[in-house]
Amino acid sequence: MGWVKVLAVAELPEGQRAVVHVEDKEILLLHHDGQIYAVQSKCPHMGAPLKRAKIEAGALVCPVHRSAFDLQTGDAKEWIPWPPVVGKLMGAVSSEKALPTYPTRIEEGSVWVEI
């Protein structure tokens, strides 16, 4: 599909997040430490919304089972560590998945995402 203009930069100040829809995708934009990231808005494990997920050590941590996904690459740094014991069992039966990420750029006062 290519690059798509999704939001004015002014609508996403440092520390803010926004969910945008592009075609059939729901994308979470995060302005964190001077960088704008675009990731799938739902966890690849069981689809929990990630809009309020914490960011720890450069990873977005799912609020439900605490899988942690690298903000740059989407790779799972931890896979279903929560709750203890049960999480490990769930992790053993569901194969690890990365969080889809999308390149971003700022141009003409807008945030663009490559889909």
Residues in touch with ligand FES (CB under 6 A) = 43, 45-46, 48, 62, 64-65, 67, 80
Q: Which residue, 37 or 79, has its beta carbon nearer to ligand FES?
A: 79
**Cα gap 62→43, rounded to integer Å:** 7
Q: Which is nearer to ligand FES, 31 or 45 (CB)?
A: 45
In the bound state with ligand FES, the residue whose beta carbon lies nearer, of 94 and 110, is 94
On the CB side of 95, CA atoms within 13 Å amount to 0
Q: Are 113 and 101 in contact (CB under 8 A)?
A: no
Min CB(57)–ligand FES separation in Å: 17
Query: Rounded CA gap, 69 and 73, in Å?
Result: 8
Distance of closest approach, residue 90 Cβ to ligand FES, in angstroms:
8
Minimum distance from residue 37 beta carbon to ligand FES (Å): 17
Nearest to 15 by CA among 54, 67, 63: 54
